[in-house]
Amino acid sequence: MQFPENFTWGTATSSYQIEGGHDEGGKGPSIWDAFCEIPGRIAGGDDGKVACDHFHKFREDVALMASLGLRAYRFSISWPRILPTGRLDRGSMNEEGIRFYSKLIDTLLEHGIEPWVTLYHWDLPLALQTERDGWLNPEIADDFEAYARICFEAFGDRVKHWITLNEPWVVAILGYGQGVFAPGRTSTTEPYVAAHHLLRSHAKAVQCYRNEFAHQGGKIGITNNCDWREPLTDKPEDKDAAQRALEFYLGWFADPIFRSGDYPESMRERVGDRLPKFTEEESKALLGSSDFFGLNHYTTMFAAEASSDGKEGSVYGNGGISEDQDVDLSVDPEWPLTEFKWAVVPWGCRKLLGWIAERYGDPAIYITENGCAMDDQVSADGSVDDQDRLEFYRGYLEACHQAIGDGVHLKGYFAWSLMDNFEWASGYRFRFGLVHVDPKSLKRTPKKSAHWYSKVVRTNALGDE
């Protein structure tokens, strides 16, 4: 496989999952700090108070990245580390937090690693949730713009790739619909309201960057998550169901930005008045508000028209709210599964990339997350027999290469994750990292897959084999 010479190879993390230092350096509490205190919410009673201790060990972590040959690193900034209350009108910005990220960025650049910065990866300042209902409040768009402006001013001279939001689908569905992620709310209406204000917030931050910081010469976009939906059969109703599932999943957030300035028509028809409406000004601000298409992709499922036997949705969850989209999801029992029980289906990645290219006018696409949780077998000498993970990356990178051959403008790939970390409600049970981390001893051991990935990065980045 030969990838383009300027293809971006990197790895990714998020602040709450790795930083620790939850009450150090002037940081305020986040909704995840609070959520982890609720008994029964997190497997094993785990939390992110220490996590991978990146707050204290970031120089060591950057050295690990350099040893793997990484050319780019996607990380997120913790909003409450910059603004402890979430708002400038309730307190000043935290200079210690700004210094921390500034030192991290400088260290990355010293090692020849390009920083890709995500402004929001789910750790909302707790005060914004308790005092203003978080993403349910229309005013949060102004709060997010003010926070983004601080980051552009502080780091934009060195950061040339910005991502406003990571996976707003997860924030809306898991945080406000199913209640399994912070802030832990359950509703059939609130996910649509939260998603609406997430999109408005994205648009405001992008307008701010383009109007006030264009001289910095950077690019700004958004990252959405989506799994491929393959029709279960050739029946027209199953094909329609698969398309509808993708529209409720990815189209929900991508259509307003890359296609029409509004939600998919299938959502308007099925959700009705529960789906908010954009003003003409908001729609205009959203359309074209991303310089690239960020995609987090992990797995594939079959989609079929929902059965009429009285069942409520599907056992596998949904690509929006299952009752609204009327889609049943399933997997082939022959597909291999990760420890997260996600099916390994590389050809689904290729199909999804093609679907995005066709629907959204062939944008520049970056896979900003792709990876797998595997139960590694660590030997006494610290080496890891990591063949399943090797096979996963080999398969998905082959699918990416095939998509490029299909004409898809795939420009980069970020492996999830640099290190084993706090995996949200699952605690520390699953290992996604290229580097093994024991959260009790904070021992960092590069895996065999990390060395293999290092080889891929170094050769393909040069346009070789």
> Exposed, middle or buried, 398 (CB in 10 Å: 0-12/13-18/19+)?
middle
Check whether 121 is labelled as a binding-site residue: yes
3-state DSSP percent of the chain in helix, strand and coil, to 5: 45, 15, 40
Note the helical H segments in 310-447: 322-325, 346-359, 387-405
In one-letter notation, the amino acid at residue 460 is N
Q: Rounded distance, CA 176 to CA 155, Å?
A: 31
Strands 300-305 and 228-231: parallel
Tokens at residue 45, please?
């009673």
Check whether 298 is labelled as a binding-site residue: yes
Q: Which is nearest to 182 in space by CA: 5, 6, 38, 361?
A: 38
Check whether 335 is labelled as a binding-site residue: no
Tokens at residue 255, please?
């259509």
Q: Rounded distance, CA 253 to CA 165, Å?
A: 11
Q: Which is nearest to 321 in space by CA: 419, 195, 230?
A: 195
Q: How many CB atoms lie within 10 A of CB 431?
A: 24
The residue annotated as part of the active site, out of 19, 145, 190, 369, is 369
Check whether 453 is labelled as a binding-site residue: no
Give yes or no: 167 in active site.
yes
Are 220 and 292 in contact, with CB atoms under 8 Å apart?
no
The residue annotated as part of the active site, out of 19, 167, 282, 305, is 167
Q: Kindly state the helix (H) or strand (E) to which residue 378 belongs, with its residue range.
A: strand 377-378
**What CA–CA distances, in Å, run from 464 to 2, 5, 133, 395?**
6, 8, 51, 19
Give yes or no: 465 in active site.
no
Check whether 402 is labelled as a binding-site residue: no
* Residue 91 DSSP SS3: coil
**What CA–CA distances, in Å, run from 338 to 29, 221, 374?**
33, 30, 6
Q: Rounded distance, CA 365 to CA 404, Å?
A: 10
Tokens 């307003």 correspond to what residue?
256
- Residues involved in catalysis: 167, 369
Q: Which residues are annotated binding-site positions?
A: 17, 121, 166, 298, 416, 423-424
Q: Which residues are annotated binding-site positions for substrate?
A: 17, 121, 166, 298, 416, 423-424
